Chain A
Amino acid sequence: MMEIFDILLSASFWAAAVRIASPLIFATIGEIICERAGVLNLGIEGIMVVGAFAGWMAVYQGAPLWFGVSVAMCAGMLFGLIHATLTVPFGLSQHVVGLGVTLLATSSSYFTYRLILPKVPSPPKIEPFQPIEIPILSDIPLIGEALFHQTAMTYGAFLLAIIVAIVLYRTPLGLAVRSVGENPAAADAQGLSVTGLRMGAVMVGSGFMAVGGSFLTLSAFDTFLFEMVNGRGWICIALVVFGAWQPGKAVLGALLYAAFDAFQIRLQQTSIGSDIPYQVFLMMPYVLSILALIIMSRRAEIPAALMIPFRKGER
């Protein structure tokens, strides 16, 4: 038991939790934007791969880090555009198109990687974002190191969540986005363009998913590996449900999930860990996500028009 307390009281554990949560926050916020506008984006997993690859490749080719993040964002928006074109004006199955986009985005990344680096034995490294200490705040014990000794991208993740929450609830644009997810006919009758709003939301949301992916290669690690996204996109879909489609609650969910993930990694190295196969620990986050879905299901917060295509003049 002492070992568990040791983990929970170590600053590095909390710092790791915040770090692990960062890409999830970006991508979950992106998915919330899509779903609030009424579009389920199952392209998330592949779009994160694209973001991880494109951002990293840009930096590897000599671009500054923040430019890499922008490249990731643009790549994500491009795949978001493909998704939105097929699901919004054409109203095709969001399940099928989403999975197709994931496959397309993933394979395009891998194809391009092999094209640019045909014969490398191991992927080259870049110089990633470095942690920035916030003066004074970072001196607070435990919390200081966990929250205020992170990279600029992590700060960006939390900032993004705040901005998106403000936009969704406090601006005419946010109201318009929520209305097309609740009842597109109502938005249409008020002279808003349902197609435009939904496509815009999917593109911007996809951009943030890709930024989440780029966090992996530009901040958490310093290289691009196949399979490195490893289901994080699907976890984010679960986090959206867990967070009841609200940015604040979703951030909380991401932190909880990340804390659990960081905890299981550390628990593996303790005496408890040596008795239990490591796969059990690795399974835990997935099992946890399923449990969270069961507990949080059947709630009224789901956008009423989620997954329902809108066709003008049809009722």
Chain B
Amino acid sequence: MRLEPIDNPSLARKIALPAAALAATIIIGSLLVLAAGANPFATLGLIIKGAAGSKFALLETLNRATPLIFTGLAVAVAFRAKLWNIGAEAQLYGGAILTVVIGTSALAALPSIPHLLLMAVAAALTGAMILLGPVILKTRFGVDEVVTTLLLNFIMLLFVSYLVEGPMKDPMGMGWPKSERLANEARLPRIVTGLRLHWGFALGLIAAMVVWIIQTRTTLGYEIRAVGHNPAAAKFAGIPVNMVLVKTALLSGGLAALAGYSEVAGLKGHLSLDLSPGFGYTGIIVAMLALLHPLGVVISAIFVAGIFVGADSMSRAADVPTYIADMLLAIALLFMVLAILLTRVRLVRG
């Protein structure tokens, strides 16, 4: 058996295979639910209801999707250049730290909009700097960025732990390890008054549009794709490969940091160690399910968030552990990359 490329895959193949991947995921999910002694149809119903069954549920899903849009975009941008940024978690916390520092500082006297902008810029720069380190190690010394970005996540979490137990600890926090709350001017307002959805979500949509335009319309986007596909050919043609990687890193790190900014300024209002339940890692799934397409990231972030929110609500009603959400996403990811491959190649004898 071997794989043979298909020159012009049919549209049917392009649709049917990913659909089959999704169906296979649902079937395995049903088996898991059966193993937990519950009814698959009822459970699926509960998940959907929990994710989108009411105005409250839907808004909850969109709120949960917001940081995933940013981390998903961060991963999508980096993976396009084959820059394996697995450190969105660290960049997210970096952005969150700066958001809190500026949001609780004397600058609080500023009017709301410049204050919010300043926080966003500072957060993005911090995230960019955090990814810059591993990328320079990669380009200068050939150190694999997968391991360095992964290890930085652990270092960053310990640093945040130090901050919220030490210098940034809220004196009024009754001993809880968390920072002071942001000033009201430093909070992202709700998009529509009365609806629990903040401007971070809108910012996510804008970011997705901007990334899409960068990728398709600018020389940087062209360079990123060239470097990702074939760095040797890109270098030969005169594309400054290392510089492109650095620019990609700045963009990717900045986007991931905005997830932290939006979570702090839009939702939580303070920094704590449970700010992100792995948004940085989930961003990888979001980006892969979207095939690294920036607009697809929005849809897949909402889908992934829906599964998490739905599974949370379902596990309260049925006796199925909430970890089924992570399992389903992992299975979906693996099936999806296989399905995408099989749209381009087929198995043949000999």
On whether A and B touch (CB less than 8 Å), the answer reads: yes
A residues in contact (CB < 8 Å) with B: 42, 82, 86, 89-93, 95-97, 99-101, 103-104, 106-108, 110-111, 114-115, 118, 230-231, 234-235, 237-238, 241, 277, 279-280, 282-283, 286-287, 289-290, 293-294, 297-298, 311-313
A265 to chain B, nearest CB (A): 14
Q: Which residues of A contact B2 (CB under 8 A)?
A: 311-313
Specify the main secondary structure of chain B where it touches its partner.
helix
- B1-31: contact bitstring with A at CB < 8 Å (1 yes, 0 no)? 1110000000000000000000000000000
- CB pair B162–A280 under 8 Å, yes or no, is yes
Q: List residues 153-201 of chain B with CB under 8 A from any CB of chain A.
A: 154-155, 158-159, 161-162, 165-166
- CB pair A283–B142 under 8 Å, yes or no, is no
A199 to B1, CA, bound (A): 15
- CB pair A290–B142 under 8 Å, yes or no, is no
Q: Which residues of B contact A99 (CB under 8 A)?
A: 86, 281, 284
Who on chain B is nearest to A287 by CB?
B155
Who on chain B is nearest to A104 by CB?
B330
Q: A89-B1, A104-B327 are in contact. Are A111 and B334 (CB under 8 A)?
A: no
Q: List residues 133-159 of chain B with CB under 8 A from any CB of chain A.
A: 137, 141-144, 146-148, 150-152, 154-155, 158-159
- CB pair A107–B330 under 8 Å, yes or no, is yes
Q: Which residues of B contact A289 (CB under 8 A)?
A: 147, 151
9 nearest A-B residue pairs (beta carbon): A107-B326, A114-B321, A104-B330, A279-B162, A111-B323, A103-B330, A279-B158, A110-B323, A107-B327
- CB pair B151–A286 under 8 Å, yes or no, is yes
B275 to chain A, nearest CB (A): 16
14 contacts across the A-B interface (CB closer than 8 A): A90-B338, A96-B288, A96-B333, A103-B285, A111-B323, A111-B327, A234-B151, A238-B151, A241-B144, A280-B162, A283-B159, A293-B147, A297-B142, A313-B2
- CB pair B341–A279 under 8 Å, yes or no, is no
Q: Which residues of B contact A298 (CB under 8 A)?
A: 141-142
Pick from A95, A111, A235, A286: contact of B84, CB under 8 Å: A95
Q: Which residues of B contact A241 (CB under 8 A)?
A: 144, 147
- CB pair A279–B142 under 8 Å, yes or no, is no
A116 to chain B, nearest CB (A): 10
- CB pair B154–A231 under 8 Å, yes or no, is yes
Q: A96-B288, A107-B326 are in contact. Are A118 and B319 (CB under 8 A)?
A: yes
- CB pair B334–A82 under 8 Å, yes or no, is yes
Who on chain A is nearest to B35 by CB?
A115
- CB pair B334–A97 under 8 Å, yes or no, is yes
B residues in contact (CB < 8 Å) with A: 1-3, 32, 35-36, 84, 86, 137, 141-144, 146-148, 150-152, 154-155, 158-159, 161-162, 165-166, 281, 284-285, 288, 319, 321, 323-324, 326-327, 329-331, 333-334, 337-338, 341
A185 to chain B, nearest CB (A): 14
- CB pair B158–A283 under 8 Å, yes or no, is yes
B242 to chain A, nearest CB (A): 15
- CB pair B321–A110 under 8 Å, yes or no, is yes
A293 to B330, CA, bound (A): 29
A45 to B254, CA, bound (A): 27
- CB pair A92–B155 under 8 Å, yes or no, is no
- CB pair A104–B334 under 8 Å, yes or no, is yes
B18 to chain A, nearest CB (A): 15
- CB pair A96–B321 under 8 Å, yes or no, is no
- CB pair B341–A90 under 8 Å, yes or no, is yes
Given contacts A93-B337, A289-B151, 4 further A-B contacts (CB under 8 A): A92-B338, A100-B334, A237-B146, A290-B143
A253 to chain B, nearest CB (A): 14
Pick from B148, B161, B285, B337: contact of A97, CB under 8 Å: B337
A96 to chain B, nearest CB (A): 6
A111 to B327, CA, bound (A): 8
Q: A92-B337, A231-B154 are in contact. Are A107 and B323 (CB under 8 A)?
A: yes
Pick from A111, A235, A237, A293: contact of B324, CB under 8 Å: A111
A28 to B284, CA, bound (A): 25
B9 to chain A, nearest CB (A): 16
Pick from B147, B326, B333: contact of A238, CB under 8 Å: B147
Q: Which residues of B contact A290 (CB under 8 A)?
A: 137, 143, 147-148, 151-152
A121 to B236, CA, bound (A): 61
Q: Which residues of A contact B3 (CB under 8 A)?
A: 89-91, 311
A277 to B164, CA, bound (A): 12
Q: A86-B338, A103-B333, A111-B321 are in contact. Are A294 and B147 (CB under 8 A)?
A: no
Who on chain A is nearest to B325 by CB?
A107
Q: Which residues of A contact B281 (CB under 8 A)?
A: 99, 103
- CB pair A234–B36 under 8 Å, yes or no, is no
A24 to B211, CA, bound (A): 41
Who on chain B is nearest to A312 by CB?
B2
- CB pair A234–B285 under 8 Å, yes or no, is no
A111 to chain B, nearest CB (A): 4
- CB pair A293–B326 under 8 Å, yes or no, is no
B279 to chain A, nearest CB (A): 14
Q: Which residues of A contact B324 (CB under 8 A)?
A: 107, 111
B159 to chain A, nearest CB (A): 7
Q: Which residues of A contact B155 (CB under 8 A)?
A: 283, 286-287
- CB pair B141–A100 under 8 Å, yes or no, is no
A86 to B344, CA, bound (A): 15
- CB pair B321–A115 under 8 Å, yes or no, is yes
Who on chain A is nearest to B324 by CB?
A111
A298 to B158, CA, bound (A): 29
A192 to chain B, nearest CB (A): 16
Q: Which residues of B contact A106 (CB under 8 A)?
A: 326
Q: Which residues of B contact A286 (CB under 8 A)?
A: 151-152, 154-155
A57 to chain B, nearest CB (A): 15
- CB pair B144–A293 under 8 Å, yes or no, is yes
Q: Which residues of B contact A104 (CB under 8 A)?
A: 327, 330-331, 334
